[in-house]
Amino acid sequence: MAKLKDIVNYFRDDWNLSLFSIAASSIYEIVDLVVPYAIGQILNVLSNQPLDKPLEGAIAIVSQLTNYPVSKPLSLGVLLGLVFLVTVVRAPTQPWLTSWFHWDIALRARRENSKLAIEKILTLPIEFYDVNNPGRIAGRLGRGISNHTWTYPEIGGQLIPKLLRVLGIFVFIVVIEWRIAVLYLISFFLILTFSLRKLQEIIRHEGLLDKYMENTESRTSELITNIKTVKAFATEARELNRQKRRLDRELKLVDYRVHKDYVILLTWQKTVIQFCVFAILGLTLAATVGGEISLGHFVMTLTLSSMAYSELEPISTLAEGFSRRYSSMLRYHEFMQESTGYDAATLLEDDKSQAYKFTGKVEFSHVSFGYDANRKVLQDINLLIEPYQTVALVGRSGSGKSTLVKLLLRYFEPQDGQILIDGEDIRTLNVGKYRRRLAIVHQEVDVFNGTVMDNLTYGRPEATLEQVREACKIARVDEVVQHLPQGYYTVVGERGVRLSGGQRQRLGIARALLVEPDVLIFDEATSSLDYESERSIQLAMRSIQGTCTTIIIAHRLSTVREADKIVVLDKGRIAEVGSHEELLLHEGIYSRLHSLQETGELLD
Ligand SMILES: Nc1ncnc2c1ncn2[C@@H]1O[C@H](COP(=O)(O)OP(=O)(O)OP(=O)(O)O)[C@@H](O)[C@H]1O
């Protein structure tokens, strides 16, 4: 659960500088109070009333140092000098000691925390992305980071110094006239208790608003990702209406709750303030007429009071701003507190030591695994894959084929048993270096925005054009790429929209081949392709066969008949193992699946 402490910790790298800049801003705010004080004293000098004792002492010292007798001009000169010091002289230093540092700290914290957020994105376990869509994550991070960036200059640079200034004014007023100070205290108490209640409501409503906004953003992101389905079903109007309803819900909340709360808060504040200012005017006037305070103190008290009250509106605006941002900042920290995969630290290491090299002998020994402890998805799997063998994993949907591969890739760890590569338990290996010796071609090949060459060399950036072309020839995509407008340097749009499914699939194979993996995995690589594309890919697979250990997950049995070994999974267990011919003779699950596919009968 994220807390206020996490928001403060966001700026942890610059504690000393933060304290310094907040102290500097506060000093400037407090020193400012010298001006009304000095003006009050000037009025006293002009109206021949006594000066305050400390000031009289200071003027006596100046008189001694300058050999100038204590007089009206000397007193006025000292007071004017004081005003000069706190106004004109501070002007060139203030922006540097305050504004510069506040933004410097905020922007550096943004850089550091954005880096941490990217680290988080890169190291979260893969299942996190099964349940959180990109729009939701991006919205939460974007809002969280930008709100923190604004918060520091507002809270550190303005709110805290302003509160200290109000406190300073209070001290001044206590010294001058305690009855006014009591009035001042009552009004602040009334304003503060009401404000805190309203701010809590604002925080609560903003939290809700944040959730609403994440839902809207998440759906918008889904609409972009699934735009083909939207268009195919012509559901544009329905989707628009649905999003409109969400936006209306947000507006209602922000306008009738959050904003209204703020306006009520301001109304209450202004009323209390005006009432108090009037009361202070009456009280001070009475005290002046009664001779209890001087004319100078009368002017000073009124000026200081109006200074204090005029700070209340910016203070509440700043507090309201913070409250509005509060829940989105907490949501950012909730994301940052998501637990990363067991392999996070290793994955971020830039390990330059020698790369691994395996023969590609893979062994699953008594492997059992479940995504949750109560339901085993794989049970007691024993499987030996010899180097350079091609092994196919087949079985009904949900039988555990992809899970087996996820375990091999170390996305998850088995609860029982072990997986060995060249006789070594994969848990003992550096996960990044290990994974770099494996390559996988998914059903949906991700294409990054960039040239075809950039995409192909993703796993091996130093590959030459010749090496890239060699891989593309094996994957039967070289000719296709040559026909693109700029050949290998053609930019493929975001998500590779300019390439057909079959072309992307073959690019994916070339990309995998280019890293010269020791184990190559095809995860239903041909399932979504037409016959011709499937054929090309089968031919590509045939060229690869025997060059490295290959694991093929396939629903279409035509893809796997040439495999050295076919493993049939059923309900998380290995049900049958053998070659195509052996399994047909066995007349078990494989043979049944095969005849169903041959005859085109429907699977139950
Ligand atoms: N991330 C996950 N969290 C929880 N359960 C999961 C997760 N991924 C898969 N499963 C479950 O594990 C079981 C095996 O899934 P798996 O994807 O390995 O099967 P499969 O044989 O590859 O299926 P398909 O051929 O449909 O891809 C299924 O019951 C599935 O619902």
What per-residue confidence (pLDDT) applies to 527? 62
Is the CB of 572 within 6 Å of ligand 1? no
**Which candidate, 56, 44, 75, places its Cα nearest to that of 299?**
44
Measure the CA–CA gap between 51 and 40, rounded to whole angstroms.
9
Q: Is the CB of 397 under 6 A from ligand 1?
A: yes
**CA neighbours within 13 Å on the CB side: how many for 117?**
22
Is 93 exposed, middle or buried (CB count within 10 Å of its CB: 0-12, 13-18, 19+)? exposed
CA distance 593 to 568: 10
Compute the average pLDDT of residues 494-500: 65
Q: Is the pLDDT reported for residue 43 higher than 70? A: yes
In a domain, 499, yes or no: no
The pLDDT score that the predictor gives to residue 499 is: 80
Would residue 52 count as lying in a domain?
yes
Residue 522 lies in a domain: no
Give the torsion sign (CA, 450, 456, 462, 466).
negative
- Continuous segment of H or E residues that includes residue 567: strand 565-570
pLDDT at 493 over 70: no
Q: How many domains does the chain have?
A: 1
Closest ligand 1 atom number to CA of residue 126: 1
Burial of 442 (0-12, 13-18, 19+ CB in 10 A): middle
Contacts of 149 (CB under 8 A, 6+ apart): 106, 107, 109, 110
The residue count of the chain comes to 604
Atom 28 (ligand 1): residue with closest C-alpha?
398
User: How far is it, in rounded angstroms, from Cα 444 to Cα 472?
Assistant: 18
Work out the angle at residue 261's Cα, subtended by the Cα atoms of residues 256 and 263, and round it to the nearest 5 degrees.
100
By three-state DSSP, how is residue 440 classified? strand
What is the predicted pLDDT for the residue at 495? Answer: 53
Contact 370, 419 (CB under 8 A): no
Instruction: Give residue 497's pLDDT band: very low, low, confident or very high (50, 70, 90).
Output: low
How many CA atoms lie less than 13 Å away from 505 in the CB half-sphere?
Answer: 24
Q: Are strands 416-421 and 362-369 parallel, antiparallel or unpaired?
A: antiparallel
Nearest to 51 by CA among 27, 79, 30: 79
Phi, psi of 519 (to 5 degrees): -135, 125
Mutate to test the pocket of ligand 1, among 130, 381, 399, 522 (most ligand atoms within 8 A of CB): 399
Q: Could you tell me the CATH number of the domain that includes residue 31?
A: 1.20.1560.10
Close Cβ partners of 547 (under 8 Å, ≥ 6 residues apart): 388
CA distance 242 to 224: 15
Position 50 pLDDT exceeds 50 = yes
Inside any domain, residue 1: no
Q: How close is the Cα of 379 to the center of ligand 1, in Å?
A: 14
What is the structure's pLDDT at 494? 62
Q: What is the pTM of this model?
A: 0.80
Which of the four pLDDT bands, split at 50, 70 and 90, describes residue 528? low
pLDDT above 70 as % of the chain: 97
Q: Residue 135 sits in which domain range?
A: 13-336
> Percentage of the chain surpassing pLDDT 90?
50
Kindly give the distance from the C-alpha atom of residue 403 to the centroid of ligand 1, in angstroms, as a whole number: 6
3-state secondary structure of 26: helix
Structure-block tokens of residue 109: 């914290």
Confirm whether 438 is domain-assigned.
no
How far does the centroid of ligand 1 lie from the alpha carbon of residue 363, in Å? 21
Residue 590 lies in a domain: no
Interface ipTM > 0.95: yes
Higher pLDDT, 456 or 176: 456
| CA-proximal residue: ligand 1, atom 6 (nearest) | 371
Q: Give the span between the Cα atoms of 119 and 122, in whole angstroms.
A: 5
Strand, helix or coil for residue 334? helix
DSSP calls for 186-254: HHHHHHHHHHHHHHHHHHHHHHHHHHHHHHHHHHHHHHHHTHHHHHHTT-HHHHHHHHHHHHHHHHHHI
How many helices (DSSP H) and strands (DSSP E) are in the chain? 25, 12
Q: Residue range 54-82: average pLDDT? A: 91
The answer to whether residue 424 sits within a structural domain is: no
Of the residues 129, 132, 371, which should be mutated to test ligand 1's pocket, given the most ligand atoms within 8 Å of the CB?
Answer: 371
The widest CA-to-CA distance across the chain, in whole angstroms, is 123
Digit-coded pLDDT (tens) for 303-353: 888 888 888 888 988 998 998 899 999 999 999 999 887 777 777 877 777
Tokens representing 2 are 């994220």
Tell whether 128 is covered by a domain: yes
DSSP secondary-structure letter at 484? S
| Ligand 1 pocket check for 398: Cβ under 6 Å | yes
